[in-house]
Amino acid sequence: MSAGGLTLRRMVAADLEAVLTMEQDSYPRPWTQGSFDFELNDNPAALLWAAEAEGGQIAGYCVAWRLQDELHIANFTVAPARRRQGVGRRLLAHALAEAAGLGLHSAFLEVRSGNLAAQSMYQQFGFRQVGLRPRFYSNGEDAVLMELAQLPQSAQADQPT
């Protein structure tokens, strides 16, 4: 899907250099090349999407897993320079619509308790807090467990509710 200067598509191996740089710029303990290689090549439950900006630059990515009829969003990242520009909203809407198209019914994720901007975005899509994972992250920060009980049924679910 392409609109607003972004192309939303499945991640490919050629994206990994940019993805790894973004990962390192975003997290104190980033995923490794081996982790992304496994998800791309060896994990049959993995779904990976990229948001490609004009000029071919990767503006964000999402790694998720199909767990029975649920989508578990494991890694959702927007490039620091592209945050608060709608990239995350477009990427999340795309991932949720594709998951619904695959027959998945709900979604869940963990988000850092201090990442209020991400929590707000997820809430705008209908996610609600369903739990807390104490000291989930390597720095001791808690994770907020969020769930979207029903994925949007429209393949055009481009906007939050």
pLDDT confidence of residue 139: 86
- Residue 154 in any domain: the answer is no
pLDDT confidence of residue 154: 58
Which two structure tokens, joined as six digits, stand for 133?
């994972």
pLDDT confidence of residue 161: 41
pLDDT tens for 14-47 read 999 999 999 999 988 899 999 999 999 999 999 9
Rounded Cα distance, 80 and 30, in Å = 14
pLDDT confidence of residue 1: 54
* CATH code for the domain in which residue 133 is found: 3.40.630.30
Residue whose C-alpha is closest to residue 46's, from 118, 102, 2, 90: 102
Q: pTM for the full model? A: 0.90
Using the structure block, give the residue that is written with the tokens 């972004």.
6
- Residue 153 in any domain: the answer is no
- Residue 6 in any domain: the answer is yes
- Residue 157 in any domain: the answer is no
* Structural domain that includes position 90: 2-148
pLDDT average, residue stretch 134-151 = 93
- Residue 89 in any domain: the answer is yes
Structural domain total, the chain: 1
Is residue 157 helix, strand or coil? coil
